[in-house]
Amino acid sequence: MSFIGNVLWVILGGLIIFIQYLIGSIVLFATIVGIPFGLQTLKMASLALLPFGREVVTTERAGGCLQIILNVIWILVCGISIAITHLLLAALLAITIIGIPFAIQHLKLAGLGLAPFGKDIRSI
């Protein structure tokens, strides 16, 4: 099921989201200060490309001082807009029964997009 879901996801817009995160990551890697944030956008890009069969888990280092500071900076700079975008896409997709699995994946991306530091992506 996850293979079919991932194929449909890529065809129906997942590739566009992946490319956007990838471009954002390349831009962030252009500065030394942006490298930690670029790594997080790479994490989101990998989940945006193939979200089915994967989950976002909070690690034990998530409560660290540096993770909290970086998440606060992330939320203020771009986290809220990323989360709102994925929430709007989830609401639009949830209108139809066929779109509900894709809406769930956008909710997963919204959670990761809001505060990515201290979270990992694992296969189910």
pTM of the full predicted structure?
Answer: 0.89
pLDDT in tens, the chain (124 residues): 789 999 999 998 889 999 999 999 999 999 999 999 999 999 999 999 999 999 999 888 767 788 889 999 999 999 999 999 999 999 999 999 999 999 999 999 999 999 999 899 999 8
Q: Which residues contact 105 (CB under 8 A, 6 or more apart)?
A: 5, 9, 51, 52
CB-side neighbour CA atoms (13 Å) of 55: 5
